[in-house]
C-alpha cells in the first residue's frame, strides 16, 4: 500500500543560536517541505527530485559509510534502530519544495520526513519531541553538525497560523497565533551554506567557552547586567563576551516577541520591528553570522515597508524573513528583489509562506 508523508521546513522569527545552550526559540513551520511517497520494503530505497543520487541502505541504517543525502537517511535509520524500531525498510520517492542551503532547515525536514515514514511503516510510535531528538542526533551522526533541537522540533510541532514558543531546556512549548494580516516573506540571498563547512561549530565552541563564567546556569536564566558582571569578573575577552551577549539578549527578545504577540488588541507593530532589527544587529555584530547580502536585504526590507525583518537561520548565507502586510506582499517582494539585483547583480528569490502544521501522514 502506497503511503505519503510530509515534513515542513521552518522560519525562525527570533531566537537564533540559542537552542544549543538550552535557550528559547520561536520558529514557525512553513508550507514548504519534504514529501515522501512509497511503501514498506526490505531496505530503504529512495529516489528524489532534487538530486540524481539514489538512496539504498539497510533498514537499520547499517550500510557502509554513505555519502550525499544518503548520510541523513542512514543516520535517521540508525538512531531509530537504537531506540528499538523494527528493521522495516521503505521504497519510494522524495520530493521537495524547500531550497537547500537557504536557512529554511531542509536537512531537518528531510530527517523528520524519513523518520515519520520509517516509524509509520514499522508500527513504531514515538512522541513528537522524541522523534525530533532522534533526528537531531542523526544530523550530528550524519555530518557532524552540533545543532540544537529547534529545527527538528519546529518541523514536528508546527501549527497552522502559529509560531512555536519553545524552551529548549525544558522542552515546554506553546503555539502562539501570528497576526493574520501579516505575511511571512522569505527572501533568499542566494548565498549558499552548509553548516558542516560554515562557522556554525566554531560559534558553538566559542559560546561554550564563554558560558564557563555563568557557573553552570543557562543563558536564558541570566539577565544582561548580571551576565556582564560575571563576564568582567571572569576575565572574558571581547570576542567571548560578544558571543555571550548575543545569546543572553536573544533569549530576552524571544520573551518580548511572545509577549507582544500574546497581548490583547492589535499587535504593536513598532515593537515587532524593534525586536527583529535588534536581533539582526546582534547576529551581525555580536555573533558574526550575517553576510553583506543579508544585511542589505534587511535594509531594503525596511525601506520597502516591512513591519519587521531580519536574517533567519544559522547564518553564513541563507535568507531574510520579513513580516509584511498581506495585501502588499507581492509588490514588496518585487521591490526588494530588484534592489538586491541592482547591488549584487542577481535577483533574490522571494517566497511568500504560510505558517503550517507539523509533520505527519497525508491521507
- Positions marked active-site: 151
For residue 3, give the nearest of 276, 352, 280, 362 by alpha carbon. 362
Dist. CA 335–CA 145, nearest whole Å? 36
Angle (nearest 5°) at CA 217 between 145 and 245? 70
Give the H or E element holding residue 89: strand 89-96
- Alpha-carbon 347 to chain mean position: 24
**Hey, how many other C-beta atoms are within 10 angstroms of the C-beta on 2?**
7
For residue 279, give the nearest of 262, 263, 264, 294 by alpha carbon. 294
Find out whether 83 and 126 touch, Cβ atoms under 8 Å: yes
Find out whether 87 and 59 touch, Cβ atoms under 8 Å: yes
Compute CA distances 197 → 9, 66, 81, 286, whole Å. Answer: 21, 18, 28, 21
b/e string for 114-146 if b means 16 or more Cβ within 10 A?
bbbbbbbbbebebebbebbbbbbbbbebbbebe
Find out whether 275 and 259 touch, Cβ atoms under 8 Å: no
Find out whether 313 and 105 touch, Cβ atoms under 8 Å: yes
b/e string for 240-256 if b means 16 or more Cβ within 10 A?
bbbbbbbbbbbbbbbbb
C-alpha cell at 221: 536564566
DSSP letter, residue 229: H
Compute CA distances 121 → 88, 90, 111, 155, 277, whole Å. Answer: 7, 8, 16, 20, 45
Amino acid at each position: 500500500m502506497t503511503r505519503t508523508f510530509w515534513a515542513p521546513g521552518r522560519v525562525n522569527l527570533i531566537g537564533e543560536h540559542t537552542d544549543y545552550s538550552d535557550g528559547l526559540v520561536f520558529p514557525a513551520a512553513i508550507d514548504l517541505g519534504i514529501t515522501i511517497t512509497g511503501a514498506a520494503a526490505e531496505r530503504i530505497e529512495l529516489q528524489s527530485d532534487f538530486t540524481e543520487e539514489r538512496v539504498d541502505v539497510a533498514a537499520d541504517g547499517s550500510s557502509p559509510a554513505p555519502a550525499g543525502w544518503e548520510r541523513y537517511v542512514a543516520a535517521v535509520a540508525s538512531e531509530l534502530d537504537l531506540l528499538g524500531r523494527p528493521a522495516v525498510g521503505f521504497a519510494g520517492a522524495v520530493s521537495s519544495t524547500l531550497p537547500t542551503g537557504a536557512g529554511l532547515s531542509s536537512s531537518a525536514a528531510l530527517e523528520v520526513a524519513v523518520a515519520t515514514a520509517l516509524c509509520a511503516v514499522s508500527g513504531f510510535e514515538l512522541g513528537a519531541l522524541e522523534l525530533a531528538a532522534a533526528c537531531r542526533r542523526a544530523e550530528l551522526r550524519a555530518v557532524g553538525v552540533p545543532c540544537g533541537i529547534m529545527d527538528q522540533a519546529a518541523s514536528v510541532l508546527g501549527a497552522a497560523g502559529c509560531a512555536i514558543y519553545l524552551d529548549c531546556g525544558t522542552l515546554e512549548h506553546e503555539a502562539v497565533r501570528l497576526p493574520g494580516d501579516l505575511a511571512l516573506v522569505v527572501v533568499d540571498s542566494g548565498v549558499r551554506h552548509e553548516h558542516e563547512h560554515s562557522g556554525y561549530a566554531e560559534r558553538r565552541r566559542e559560546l561554550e567557552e564563554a558560558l564557563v563564567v555563568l557557573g553552570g546556569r543557562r543563558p536564558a536564566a541570566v539577565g544582561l547586567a548580571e551576565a556582564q558582571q560575571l563576564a568582567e569578573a571572569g576575565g572574558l575577552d571581547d570576542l567571548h563576551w560578544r558571543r555571550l551577549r548575543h545569546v543572553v539578549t536573544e533569549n530576552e527578545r524571544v520573551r518580548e516577541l511572545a509577549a507582544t504577540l500574546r497581548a490583547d488588541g492589535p499587535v504593536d507593530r513598532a515593537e515587532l520591528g524593534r525586536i527583529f532589527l535588534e536581533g539582526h544587529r546582534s547576529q551581525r555584530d555580536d555573533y558574526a553570522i550575517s553576510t553583506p547580502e543579508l544585511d542589505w536585504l534587511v535594509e531594503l526590507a525596511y525601506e520597502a515597508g516591512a513591519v519587521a525583518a531580519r536574517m533567519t537561520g544559522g547564518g553564513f548565507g541563507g535568507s531574510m524573513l520579513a513580516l509584511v502586510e498581506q495585501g502588499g506582499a507581492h509588490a514588496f517582494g518585487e521591490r526588494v528583489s530588484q534592489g538586491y539585483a541592482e547591488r549584487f547583480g542577481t535577483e533574490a528569490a522571494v517566497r511568500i509562506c504560510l505558517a503550517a502544521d507539523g509533520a505527519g501522514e497525508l491521507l
